[in-house]
Amino acid sequence: MIFFLMLLLAQIAGGFIKAAGNEPPLAGPYYLNISKETAAKGYAVKAFNGTINLILPKGILKDATGVEIKKIDEDMDLPWQLEKLSGIFQYEILNKAAYDRGKPLLVEIKHNQDSDYYKQIYFFDKNFSSWRPLACKEIAVKKTVRCELTFNFANLAIFANPNVLVKGRASWYSYKKGDYAASPDFPKGSILRVYNLENNKHVDVEINDFGPERKLYPDRAVDLEKTVFKKIASLKQGTINIRIEPLKIKNGTERLFGISPAGAKYEPTVTAKAAVLLDEQSGEILWQKNSTSTLPLASLTKLAAIKVFLDTRPSLNQAVVYSVKDEEYNYEYVNKWESARLKLTDGETLTQEDLLYAALVGSANNAIETLVRSSGLARADFIKSMNETVANWGASSTRFIEPTGLAPENVSSALDYAIISKEVYTNPIIQKASIMPRYKFSSMNSKKKYSITNSDQLLHISSLNITGSKTGYLDEAGYCLMVRAADKKGRQVIAVTLGASSRERSFAETEELLKYGLKIIKQ
């Protein structure tokens, strides 16, 4: 698509006629009539001192038409997650019948702002009240973005996406020799042209890995495979200043660069059945959707269970003998092969700490039941304490009938669960355990080794400072997720989504809520 833009420009460069005559003031509309004879030769409409150019290639107009270009001054809803770099322009080919929509026209828009982020021209889609990105090519030295489109009318603007860094630094690594690079932003399979800004040498690379982690290396745009790095710089340099020009962007995910398929809107796009975004410090609801609707919450139950367990003031290094009878409670609600569990054998000995981490990191249902048994409370009293505890916090729509979340009768609302999360994370042990990417331990008697991985992918790929996390899933509940994140000053926001249709959507929509919340509290 980007290559086609370059080819099309080359084809028409010698053939079209530029608009002539006096331009109106920058604030006024630009209008001209194009005759049938002129249209046949191709035409470039230059408006607002060249800030926007509408390029009509040869053969795209079949008849005479008027062309109008305006600068939109009235307020429009802007996408919350993007940075607007240009004015908003509206163009219209007034004779709709004259335009052959089977052939793309070209638009160039200039801006005067410095940005290291990926820039695209977006058009406003009235049907969805959203801004949609177009296939674009950035001409960085001219601060110009060029795109093709097939509309006779559109509202357009340049936006930069802070989720995608195209100017920064690059280092090198030695793995899988070839024209490859790792990126935290571009999907695998994308082809990028990487320029060394010191000597203007460039290489074309395919993204085949994720990295470097943006929260550890905020200025690193990509890392290059060793042999590729040597083509544009000395390995002794370690890192170099680079600029990226995307040649092909592989879209293998539902959301590309954090933008919903419905486009970029003035507020988050959430398809989950219910969601809430809470400012933990003030208690203010920053965003909500059906936040008081009562729904199954699946394994999100476990946070409340762990808090009640820790309130019994256990000694976490205390040894516990595992009993297979503990996990039999789980099979009242699911088949054995359906339950997330720690594969322990009867009589195996481990510490309460290992059980706690297995429950929070790996969401092991049998580990929760063993903790309940070792708490010193009868199981019924433990569950009663869970209900009383959250009710005292103000979670009035929440009800637990067992401690794991396997029962669909365990219900809450998104708002209730945000309140629960706020209280639960006053405990530093829960804070630490719930964001641990993986946990390893050995049983005390058999010395059998266990390795547990956290199912929250945001812990592995997100640039957010995540300070709390819990996933959940049941057929009846859909995909549920709670994530807590902090800004640089330590101010926390909590996002809860219940009933998402897929795990990918659950992660994407919750991450979007968190970024939205952190932006709001920063203002």
The number of residues making up the chain comes to: 523
CA gap 119, 137 in Å, rounded:
9
- Which of 171, 260, 363, 469 does the annotation list as catalytic? 363
Which segments are annotated as binding site? 470
CA gap 331, 308 in Å, rounded:
23
For residue 104, count other CB atoms closer than 10 A to its CB: 20
pLDDT at 255: 86
Cβ burial of 59 (10 Å; 0-12, 13-18, 19+) is: middle
- Which of 190, 260, 299, 455 does the annotation list as catalytic? 299
pLDDT at 474: 97
pLDDT at 21: 36
**Residue carrying structure tokens 């000694």:** 315
Q: Above 60 in pLDDT, residue 475?
A: yes
pLDDT at 18: 52
Query: Is-contact 296 313, C-beta < 8 A?
Result: no
Q: Is residue 299 annotated as part of the catalytic site, yes or no?
A: yes
Q: Would strands 43-47 and 17-18 be described as parallel, antiparallel, or unpaired?
A: parallel
Average pLDDT, stretch 86-102? 95
Cβ burial of 30 (10 Å; 0-12, 13-18, 19+) is: buried
pLDDT at 27: 56
Q: What is the CATH number of domain 166-248?
A: 2.40.40.10
Helix and strand numbers, DSSP H then E, in the chain: 12, 30
155: Cβ contacts below 8 Å, ≥ 6 apart: 72, 76, 88, 89, 90, 123, 124
Q: Is residue 302 annotated as part of the catalytic site, yes or no?
A: yes
Amino acid making up residue 78: L
Q: Above 80 in pLDDT, residue 9?
A: no
Average pLDDT, stretch 411-416? 99
Residue 15's pLDDT band (boundaries 50, 70, 90)?
Answer: very low
Which segments are annotated as binding site for substrate? 470
Q: What is the percent of the chain where pLDDT is above 90?
A: 88
- Which of 302, 307, 422, 515 does the annotation list as catalytic? 302
Average pLDDT, stretch 380-398? 98
CA gap 507, 271 in Å, rounded:
12
Span 344-378, pLDDT tens digits: 999 999 999 999 999 999 999 999 999 999 999 99
In CATH terms, is domain 2-163 a member of 2.60.220.30? Answer: yes
The torsion angles phi and psi of 324, rounded to 5 degrees, stand at: -65, -20
Sorted by where each begins, the domain ranges of the chain are: 2-163, 166-248, 274-522
CATH number for 274-522 (one of 3.40.710.10, 3.80.10.10, 3.40.190.10, 3.40.50.720): it is 3.40.710.10
Average pLDDT, stretch 110-137? 96
Q: Is residue 363 annotated as part of the catalytic site, yes or no?
A: yes
Span 241-278, pLDDT tens digits: 999 999 999 987 778 999 988 899 999 999 999 999 99
Q: What is the percent of the chain where pLDDT is above 70?
A: 95
Amino acid making up residue 238: G
For residue 209, count other CB atoms closer than 10 A to its CB: 15
Q: Above 90 in pLDDT, residue 204?
A: yes
pLDDT at 6: 44
pLDDT at 440: 97
pLDDT at 10: 41
